[in-house]
Amino acid sequence: MNDFLERSETLFKRGQAVIPGGVNSPVRAAKAVGTHPLFIRRAEGSRIFDADGNTYLDYVGSWGPLILGHAHPRVVKAVQEAAARGTSYGAPTESEIELAERIISCVPSIEKVRLVTSGTEATMSAVRLARAFTGRPLILKFDGCYHGHGDSFLIKAGSGIATLGIPGSPGVPQEIASLTLSLPYNDLEKVRETFKTVGHRVAAVIVEPVAGNMGVVLPVPGFLEGLRDITIQYQTLLIFDEVITGFRVALGGAQERFQIRPDLTCLGKIIGGGLPVGAYGGSKKIMSLIAPEGPVYQAGTLSGNPLATAAGLAVLEILSQKGIYEQLEAKAGFFFGRLNELARSREIPFTTTRIGSMGSLFFSREDIRDYETVQKASIEIYAQFYREMRSRGVYLAPSAFEALFISLAHSQEDLEKTLAVADEVFGRLRE
């Protein structure tokens, strides 16, 4: 049992004195699961190691980027070699073009792509572009979908905010919030109704084609198709925020898997291999509005950073090999299937959602289809589950409303070990 967390506790106290809440991103603080964060010293493959010398099987994967596992030798080598050539030039490089070409060859709707430094930057820029292209002010999003922390998106915005119970955020002016409409995920009828009154003023519908930030919620059949039809009818742009799903649920993301062509796509996470990257792309016609080709301003000192592009390219090259997504599917299918069986045999209210190698656990008997049904799952039981799993060497997301990720580095043995621990913890939950 990993109960010895003295060093993490000390670091957390020290951090809280100089960093708000002791963390640089809120959910990390593990408040929502009633404990303190682990401070990580290093990671390798499927494992992370904390400051007290404990080892954990990691199912967070840095919140999505690490589809190959931690410190993959080819990624490490690519970054080391790039670093030796200089960490940043603020001038164009061939490796940016290679990454752009690779993204375009994989993601069906992207003809041109701009690299930025985070998913947040990608969505903010995509919305600016959509407003410029259409000349319209409004955007429509869905409850529980997270699109980064831009002012326009902090409205019913998933995990971090759901976890902390903040409706929106202080600091976002009402005038800005009023330009964002938020509707229930998977509710096409509400979208139709809304468009009848304000459709001609909506610049873009932005959606996570598979929601990943209120826990994983799959689109019901017809939802994404319906959004595509309605947005075409009203000449509104459809933005797929594939920051989580891009290169995760298929090489070409959710748009390949569900065969829908959005107008703009936002990427991040996996395409940076664990270094800070984001991207947004779409048709040549729309993307040509971006400066310096067009008038829509968007820039970045470290955009297209050579370390990040080197890491991203190494990851995408491996993911482009045959059979990778089949392997991930097999691992995750086995893992989630067994987890459900174990919970069922102990009569625990439990359900899972999954697509490819991302999924979520809900202590609930509800059919999970939107933010409302997600919220009926027990936060208290998840918190206990999280703590018990962690003390036995399994590291899950410190919030009931997050995804769990399986990487190529997770071996059959790792998964079986995790299932044995889960079985033991399921047994304790009933006590």
Ligand X SMILES: *Cc1c(COP(=O)(O)O)cnc(C)c1O
**Binding-residue pattern over the window 262 to 291 for ligand X, x denoting contact by CB under 6 A:** ------x---------x-------------
Beta bridge partners of 352: 361
Number of H helices, E strands in the chain: 15, 14
Catalytic residue selected from 31, 52, 143, 146: 146
* Three-state SS letters, 72-122: CHHHHHHHHHHHHCCCCCCCCCHHHHHHHHHHHHHCCCCCEEEEECCHHHH
Choices 40-48, 54-62, 142-150, 296-304; region in contact with ligand X by CB under 6 A:
142-150
- C-alpha torsion angle, residues 50, 51, 54, 59 (rounded to 10): -10
CA distance readout (Å), 390 to 220, 398, 407: 33, 10, 19
Instruction: Tell me how far apart the alpha carbons of residues 203 and 180 are, in angstroms, rounded to a whole number.
Output: 10
Radius of gyration of the chain (CA): 21
Least CB distance to ligand X at residue 127 (A): 12
Q: Which is nearer to ligand X, 206 or 342 (CB)?
A: 206
According to DSSP, the β-strands at 237-241 and 202-207 are parallel
Instruction: Work out whether 120 is an interface residue with ligand X (CB under 6 A).
Output: yes
Choices 105-113, 176-184, 239-247, 390-398; region in contact with ligand X by CB under 6 A:
239-247
Concerning whether 269 is annotated as a catalytic residue, the answer is yes
- C-alpha torsion angle, residues 6, 9, 11, 13 (rounded to 10): -140
Least CB distance to ligand X at residue 101 (A): 22
CA distance readout (Å), 260 to 126, 143, 249, 405: 18, 21, 14, 24
Least CB distance to ligand X at residue 137 (A): 22
Q: Which is nearer to ligand X, 32 or 381 (CB)?
A: 32
Least CB distance to ligand X at residue 373 (A): 19
Choices 44-52, 103-111, 119-127, 173-181; region in contact with ligand X by CB under 6 A:
119-127
Least CB distance to ligand X at residue 293 (A): 25
Q: Provide the token pair at 344.
A: 């069922």
Choices 11-19, 27-35, 145-153, 419-427; region in contact with ligand X by CB under 6 A:
145-153
Q: Which is nearer to ligand X, 277 or 396 (CB)?
A: 277
User: Which of 112, 136, 147, 390 forms a contact with ligand X (CB under 6 A)?
Assistant: 147
Q: Which is nearer to ligand X, 54 or 118 (CB)?
A: 118
Q: What does the buried/exposed string (b/e) look like for 50-64 if buried means 16 or more CB atoms within 10 Å of the residue's CB? A: bbbebebbbbbbbbb
Q: Is 310 helix (H, G, I), strand (E, B) or coil?
A: helix
Which has the closest alpha carbon to 285: 110, 65, 74, 417?
110
Q: Which is nearer to ligand X, 241 or 256 (CB)?
A: 241
Catalytic residue selected from 241, 263, 370, 414: 241
Q: Provide the token pair at 24.
A: 């640089």
Q: Provide the token pair at 108.
A: 């069906």
Residues 63-82 that bind ligand X (CB under 6 A): none
User: Which of 217, 243, 270, 400 forms a contact with ligand X (CB under 6 A)?
Assistant: 243
CA distance readout (Å), 318 to 58, 94, 314: 21, 19, 7
Strands of the 351-355 sheet, one edge to the other: 351-355, 358-362, 404-405
Least CB distance to ligand X at residue 176 (A): 18
Concerning whether 3 is annotated as a catalytic residue, the answer is no
Instruction: Evaluate whether 223 touches 191 at the Cβ level (below 8 Å).
Output: no
Least CB distance to ligand X at residue 145 (A): 7
**Binding-residue pattern over the window 99 to 118 for ligand X, x denoting contact by CB under 6 A:** -------------------x
Q: Which is nearer to ligand X, 280 or 336 (CB)?
A: 280
Instruction: Work out whether 244 is an interface residue with ligand X (CB under 6 A).
Output: yes
Residues 198-237 that bind ligand X (CB under 6 A): 208, 212-213
Concerning whether 241 is annotated as a catalytic residue, the answer is yes
Least CB distance to ligand X at residue 208 (A): 5
Residues taking part in catalysis: 146, 241, 269
Q: Site residues (CB under 6 A) for ligand X?
A: 118-120, 123, 146-148, 208, 212-213, 241, 243-244, 268, 278
